[in-house]
C-alpha cells in the first residue's frame, strides 16, 4: 500500500496548480497596479495642461516667489487623486521680448497594492505641459471706406467706435514698444498721402486738373505743388495694383489730384493717441474705389517709398490688411489715357488683381462688407472665407473688429 501511494501520480495536479496560482495572481495584481499608474499619469497630464493654460492668463502679474504656490492651487483644484503623493510640481516662466513660455513639470508616487508581493511598493509617474503665447511683431494697415454712403445708418460713427476698440486691444497686446504698429488709410476714389513728399520726383502732375475742377485757383503746371492738397489717384496699369517704388519704372508715378475733405493717411505708428485722433478726423464724402485703398494699405506695410515705416519681412512679423467698404466700386482712374473709369466691372477687375498680389506678398487680408458692396469680390479677396465678414447692420461692426483684434492677439498653445 505504501509502495502504491508513493508511485501513484494521479494526485499531483492539485498541488502543482496551487503552486502555479501564486505567480499568476501576482502578475495579475501587477498588471492592475500598472493600469492604475497609467490612469493616474493621464489624470496628472490633464491637470498639468489645465494648470498651464489657466496660469498663463495671469502669470505676467504674479511675483516669481508666488508662482509655485499659485500653480499648486490650480493643480490641486483640478486633480482628484487623494491616494497619490505629489513629489514635484515646478513652474518655469520665461519672457523673451513679446513672446512668453510657461512650462510646468509634475511627478507623483502611486502606491502599489498586490504588486507589493513582488517588492514593487510604488510607481513613479509624471508629465509636463508647455504653453507659448504672446503676439508676434505685428503691422496692421486699415483701409477704411470714407465715401459719402458711410454717412447713412451712422456707419461712420459705428466704424469709429469699432476701430477705437481694435486699437485698444492691440495696444494691450503690445508688450514691447515696437511690437505692434498700425496704419490708417482712409479712401474714396483717392488717398490723401499728405504734401510732405511734394518735392520728390514721384508725381505725375498732369492729372491735377488745373484748368478743370481747379480753374481760377491760380494752379499751373509750374506751381501745382502750392495748390496740391496731397491726394493721389490710381497709377498707370499695371502699377495701379502693384507695390513698385515710384519713379523706378515708367508708369510708376503717382497721379496727383484735389482732395476735398478726405482725411490724410497715417503711416505705421505705435502712437495710440495719434491713431485714435486720426480715426476721429474721418468724414464721409465722395465716391468709391476699393482698389486704391487696398494698394495704399499695401504700400504702408512695405519699407519702400513713399511710406518707409514698415519693417522688412521676417518670420516673427505678421503683416495684415483690414479692408472695410460699404459699396460697389463706382469711380477709378486710367492714368494712361488721363480719364475716369466708371464701369464697376472694370474697377472690380483691378480690385481683384490687387487682392491677388497682396496675398501673394504673404500679407493676411481681412475684408468687411457693410450692408452694401460686391459680396463675391470681397469674399474672394479675403485670405480665407473665415476672414470675410458680411455685416448687415452697422451696429455689428464693433463685434466684428473685436473678433479680428482677438484673432490677431490670440494665445498660441503648444504641448
pLDDT in tens, 360-387: 999 999 999 998 989 999 999 999 999 9
| CB-based burial, 203-222: b 16+ in 10 Å, e otherwise | bbbebbebeeebeeeebeee
The residues near 6 (Cβ < 8 Å, ≥ 6 apart) are none
Distance CA 97, CA 100 (A): 8
Q: Regarding beta strands 180-187 and 137-145, do their DSSP bridges make them parallel or antiparallel, or are they unpaired?
A: parallel
Rounded mean pLDDT of 147-171? 93
The residues near 76 (Cβ < 8 Å, ≥ 6 apart) are none
In the structure, how many helices (H) and strands (E) does the chain have? 10, 15
Judge whether residue 78 has pLDDT over 90: no
The confidence score (pLDDT) of residue 260 equals 85
**Range among 87-101, 168-182, 235-249 with highest mean pLDDT value:** 235-249
Split at pLDDT 50, 70, 90, the class of 292 is very high
Distance CA 166, CA 368 (A): 14
Rounded mean pLDDT of 33-58? 82
The confidence score (pLDDT) of residue 338 equals 85
Say if pTM beats, i.e. exceeds, 0.85. no
The confidence score (pLDDT) of residue 20 equals 46
The confidence score (pLDDT) of residue 315 equals 81
Rounded mean pLDDT of 5-9? 53
Cell readout for 359 is 496675398
Helix axes 397-408, 155-173, angle to 10 degrees: 20
SS3 of residue 393 by DSSP? coil
What does the DSSP 8-state code read for residue 186? E
Query: Phi and psi (nearest 5°) for 390?
Result: -105, 100
Rounded mean pLDDT of 94-119? 76
The confidence score (pLDDT) of residue 96 equals 76
CA distances from 369 to 47, 281, 328, 337, 381 (A): 43, 22, 10, 31, 11
Split at pLDDT 50, 70, 90, the class of 80 is confident
Judge whether residue 121 has pLDDT over 50: yes
Rounded mean pLDDT of 150-165? 94
**Between 276 and 20, residue with greater pLDDT:** 276
Rounded mean pLDDT of 138-143? 96
Report the half-sphere exposure of 49 (CA within 13 A, side-chain side): 9
The residues near 214 (Cβ < 8 Å, ≥ 6 apart) are 208, 227, 258
The confidence score (pLDDT) of residue 34 equals 64
Would you say 267 and 194 are in contact if contact means Cβ atoms under 8 Å apart?
A: no
Judge whether residue 413 has pLDDT over 60: no
181: buried, middle or exposed (CB in 10 Å: 19+, 13-18, 0-12)? buried
Rounded mean pLDDT of 75-84? 84
**pLDDT per residue over 178-235, tens digit each?**
889 999 999 999 999 999 999 999 998 766 666 444 444 567 777 888 888 899 999 9
Distance CA 147, CA 101 (A): 45
**pLDDT per residue over 319-349, tens digit each?**
999 999 998 999 999 999 888 999 999 999 9
The confidence score (pLDDT) of residue 414 equals 36
Distance CA 229, CA 257 (A): 8
Would you say 109 and 123 are in contact if contact means Cβ atoms under 8 Å apart?
A: yes
Q: Which helix (H) or strand (E) element contains residue 18? A: helix 13-56
Least confident range of 90-104, 160-174, 206-220, 293-307: 206-220
| pLDDT above 90: percentage of residues in the chain | 52
| CB-based burial, 60-86: b 16+ in 10 Å, e otherwise | eebeeeebeebbeebbeeebeeeebeb
Judge whether residue 22 has pLDDT over 70: no
Report how far apart the first and last C-alpha atoms of the chain are (Å, whole number). Answer: 75
Least confident range of 71-85, 91-105, 211-225: 211-225
Cell readout for 5 is 501511494
Q: What is the largest CA-CA distance in the chain?
A: 144
Split at pLDDT 50, 70, 90, the class of 119 is low
Angle among Cα 346, 298, 396 to the nearest 5 degrees reads: 80
The confidence score (pLDDT) of residue 19 equals 47
Would you say 47 and 120 are in contact if contact means Cβ atoms under 8 Å apart?
A: no
Rounded mean pLDDT of 8-36? 54
Nearest to residue 233, comparing CAs of 211, 212, 260, 215?
Answer: 260
**pLDDT per residue over 235-249, tens digit each?**
999 999 999 999 878
Site of grid cell 511627478: 107
What does the DSSP 8-state code read for residue 204? E
Split at pLDDT 50, 70, 90, the class of 100 is confident
Judge whether residue 6 has pLDDT over 80: no
Distance CA 378, CA 371 (A): 12
Split at pLDDT 50, 70, 90, the class of 7 is low
Would you say 351 and 381 are in contact if contact means Cβ atoms under 8 Å apart?
A: yes
The confidence score (pLDDT) of residue 258 equals 84
Distance CA 100, CA 411 (A): 10
The confidence score (pLDDT) of residue 132 equals 79
Beta carbons within 10 angstroms of residue 238's beta carbon = 12
Q: Which helix (H) or strand (E) element contains residue 406? A: helix 397-408
Rounded mean pLDDT of 12-17? 50
The confidence score (pLDDT) of residue 364 equals 96
Amino acid at each position: 500500500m505504501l509502495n502504491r501511494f508513493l508511485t501513484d501520480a494521479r494526485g499531483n495536479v492539485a498541488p502543482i496548480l496551487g503552486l502555479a496560482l501564486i505567480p499568476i495572481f501576482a502578475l495579475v495584481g501587477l498588471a492592475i497596479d500598472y493600469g492604475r499608474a497609467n490612469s493616474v499619469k493621464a489624470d496628472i497630464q490633464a491637470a498639468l495642461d489645465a494648470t498651464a493654460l489657466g496660469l498663463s492668463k495671469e502669470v505676467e502679474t504674479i511675483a516669481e516667489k508666488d508662482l509655485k504656490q499659485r500653480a499648486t492651487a490650480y493643480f490641486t483644484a483640478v486633480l482628484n487623486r487623494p491616494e497619490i503623493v505629489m513629489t514635484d510640481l515646478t513652474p518655469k516662466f520665461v519672457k523673451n521680448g513679446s513672446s512668453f513660455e510657461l512650462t510646468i513639470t509634475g511627478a507623483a508616487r502611486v502606491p502599489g497594492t498586490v504588486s507589493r508581493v513582488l517588492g514593487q511598493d510604488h510607481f513613479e509617474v509624471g508629465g509636463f505641459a508647455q504653453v507659448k503665447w504672446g503676439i508676434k511683431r505685428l503691422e496692421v494697415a486699415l483701409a477704411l471706406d470714407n465715401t459719402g454712403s458711410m454717412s447713412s445708418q451712422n456707419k461712420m460713427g459705428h466704424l469709429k467706435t469699432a476701430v477705437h476698440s481694435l486699437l485698444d486691444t492691440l495696444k494691450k497686446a503690445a508688450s514691447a514698444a515696437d511690437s505692434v504698429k498700425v496704419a490708417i488709410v482712409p479712401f474714396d476714389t483717392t488717398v490723401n498721402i499728405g504734401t510732405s513728399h511734394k518735392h520728390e520726383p514721384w508725381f505725375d502732375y498732369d492729372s491735377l486738373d488745373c484748368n478743370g475742377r481747379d480753374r481760377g485757383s491760380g494752379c499751373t503746371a509750374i506751381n501745382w505743388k502750392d495748390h496740391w492738397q496731397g491726394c493721389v489717384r490710381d497709377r498707370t496699369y499695371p502699377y495701379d495694383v502693384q507695390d513698385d517704388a515710384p519713379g523706378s519704372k515708367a508708369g510708376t508715378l503717382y497721379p496727383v489730384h484735389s482732395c476735398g475733405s478726405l482725411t490724410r493717411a497715417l503711416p505705421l505708428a505705435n502712437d495710440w493717441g495719434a491713431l485714435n485722433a486720426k480715426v476721429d478726423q474721418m468724414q464721409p464724402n465722395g465716391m468709391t474705389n476699393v482698389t486704391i485703398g487696398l494698394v495704399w494699405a499695401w504700400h504702408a506695410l512695405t519699407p519702400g517709398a513713399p511710406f518707409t515705416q514698415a519693417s522688412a519681412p521676417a518670420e516673427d512679423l505678421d503683416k495684415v490688411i483690414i479692408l472695410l467698404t460699404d459699396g460697389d466700386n463706382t469711380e477709378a482712374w486710367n492714368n494712361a489715357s488721363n480719364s475716369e473709369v466708371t464701369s464697376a466691372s472694370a474697377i472690380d477687375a483691378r480690385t481683384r488683381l490687387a487682392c491677388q498680389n497682396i496675398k501673394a506678398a504673404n500679407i493676411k487680408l481681412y475684408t468687411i462688407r457693410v450692408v452694401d458692396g460686391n459680396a463675391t469680390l470681397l469674399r474672394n479677396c479675403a485670405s480665407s472665407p473665415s476672414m470675410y465678414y458680411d455685416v448687415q447692420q452697422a451696429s455689428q461692426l464693433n463685434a466684428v473688429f473685436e473678433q479680428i483684434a482677438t484673432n490677431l492677439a490670440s494665445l498660441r498653445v503648444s504641448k
